[in-house]
């Protein structure tokens, strides 16, 4: 009884080990390709490979990618309506938001989930200057046009961008 269970577990672990060894490289390649594609979307064209770094702001660690000559792509996570909302926010060296892309979310399909596809909403942040224009929705007295019926998601999206901007400020003041 013990022997057969042990044997089955051993064989299964061996199989898993082999599959893992074979798939580890393609998995990493797929993840890297996704990150590179996201960085290319949120920052202006740049040369070379962006470097991955991290920084601590107010006790929270943020991962960001630095593309020399183009700016920073900061990964920023906030709480949305359905769970964590993770954005990659590209901020140019001039301090303007270049573009944003949603990395993962659990917003309501058809409502908050539009934050990944609603171009009117996403494109308003292109060239946004967080130092001049308040990053909160109009309902809260800011200047962000919220997605219809998804104020909480829009609020979270804006908060993620402000958070990324705080990280950007910290990164640039050190230099």
Partner 1 sequence: MSKIGLITKGFLKENPTFVLVLGMCPTLATTTSAMNGLEMGLATMFVLILSNIVISLIAPVVPDKVHIPVYIVVIATFVTVLQLLMQAYVPDVYETLGLFIPLIVVNCIVLGRAEAFACKNSVGDSALDGIGIGLGFTASLTVIGIVREILGSGSIFGWKFITGDGVLAFVMAPGAFLVLGYLMVLFNKLAKR
Least Å distance between CB 148 and partner 1? 11
Least Å distance between CB 15 and partner 1? 6
The one segment of 17-25, 59-67, 135-143, 163-171 that binds partner 1 by CB under 8 A: 17-25
The residues, ordered by sequence, that sit 6+ positions from 36 with a Cβ below 8 Å of its Cβ are 50
* CA distance readout (Å), 65 to 17, 71, 161, 172, 175: 32, 9, 15, 13, 16
Q: Quote the radius of gyration of the chain (alpha carbons, Å).
A: 20
Residue of the chain from 12, 37, 60, 79 that contacts partner 1 (CB under 8 A): 12
Least Å distance between CB 11 and partner 1? 9
- The owner of tokens 């991290």 is 54
Per CB under 8 A, 117 contacts partner 1 = no
- Which one, 4 or 174, has the nearer CB to partner 1? 4
Instruction: Report which of 46, 64, 65, 45 is spatially closest to residue 56, judged by C-alpha positions.
Output: 64
Least Å distance between CB 114 and partner 1? 9
- Token pair for residue 43? 């920052």
- Euclidean distance between the first and the last CA atom of the chain, given in angstroms as a whole number: 65
Per CB under 8 A, 15 contacts partner 1 = yes
Site for partner 1 in 74-113 (CB under 8 A): 108-111
- Token pair for residue 52? 């991955």
Dist. CA 162–CA 88, nearest whole Å: 12
Residue of the chain from 1, 45, 119, 173 that contacts partner 1 (CB under 8 A): 1
- The owner of tokens 């301090």 is 95
Least Å distance between CB 109 and partner 1? 4
Q: Note the residues at the interface with partner 1 (CB under 8 A).
A: 1, 4-5, 8-9, 12, 15-16, 19-20, 23, 26-27, 30-31, 34, 108-111
């Amino acid at each position: 009884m013990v022997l057969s269970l042990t044997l089955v577990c051993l064989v299964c672990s061996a199989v898993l080990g082999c599959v893992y060894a074979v798939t580890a490289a393609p998995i990493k390649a797929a993840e890297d390709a996704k990150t590179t594609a996201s960085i290319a979307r949120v920052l202006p064209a740049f040369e070379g490979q962006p470097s991955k770094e991290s920084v601590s702001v107010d006790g929270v660690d943020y991962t960001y990618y630095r593309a020399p000559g183009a700016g920073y792509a900061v990964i920023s996570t906030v709480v949305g309506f359905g769970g964590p909302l993770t954005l990659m926010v590209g901020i140019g060296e001039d301090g303007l938001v270049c573009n944003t892309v949603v990395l993962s979310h659990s917003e309501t399909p058809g409502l908050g989930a539009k934050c990944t596809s609603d171009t009117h909403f996403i494109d308003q942040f292109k060239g946004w200057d967080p130092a001049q224009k308040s990053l909160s929705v109009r309902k809260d007295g800011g200047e962000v046009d919220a997605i219809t019926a998804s104020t909480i998601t829009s609020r979270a999206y804006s908060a993620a961008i402000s958070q990324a901007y705080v990280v950007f400020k910290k990164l640039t003041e050190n230099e």
